[in-house]
Amino acid sequence: MEKYQSTPFFLQEALREDIGRMLEGNLFKNPDPAGDPYIPMSIYGQNLPLPVAGTEEPSQAMIDYTDDMISDPVYNCPWCLVKIDSGEVKGPNEPQTVVVAICYGIFNDDRQNDGHKDILNLIQKTYERYATEPTLSRSYRCKQDFEWSVQREDTYPYYFGAISMTFEMTGIKLERSIYT
């Protein structure tokens, strides 16, 4: 298969790579007090990794933040999740549209309880990237309809937010059948 085929899966992979480049060099607070204080963001497609049960050693999906194991991967921050939400093709020879949500989760134990600022900055950075240069991997174009939100609940010291956008790609072209 060609790397830049226009499919929702390849769009998701291209977004993961692009967001990785966009966040290259950015470090975020690490919830693991035994590790480096700042670490790069992990970028996943569609779902966070499942926790690893029954292992002695912590894995990337399960880190020993305290004496008790926190096994919920939601708290294995910082992370970015590139989720394919939905898609549509309105008819023959029409482009395919794919709605994507870029979700962020970070840890910030600052006593001001203002980790939402980091989330808002990530959302803004994502918006600016696709608003100023909507073409991605020569195959996908952001339609520049953005919606974003931040969490409503107080989950200190963990913060979450997302931005959704729609990408358009070439649809399958209706060909004349040799049987008609």
Give the number of residues written for the chain.
180
DSSP state of 76: S
CATH (residue range 8-169): 3.30.70
| Predicted TM-score (pTM) of this structure | 0.83
46-53 contact pairs (CB < 8 A, 24+)? 46/12, 46/81, 46/82, 46/83, 46/84, 47/81, 48/73, 48/74, 48/76, 48/79, 48/81, 49/73, 49/76
Per-residue pLDDT of the chain (180 residues; tens, 9 = 90+): 344 478 999 999 999 999 999 999 999 999 988 889 999 999 999 998 877 665 444 445 444 444 443 456 677 899 999 999 999 999 888 999 999 999 999 999 999 999 999 999 999 999 999 999 999 999 999 999 999 999 999 999 999 999 999 999 987 777 776 776
Please state the domain extents for the chain: 8-169
**What DSSP character marks residue 78?**
S
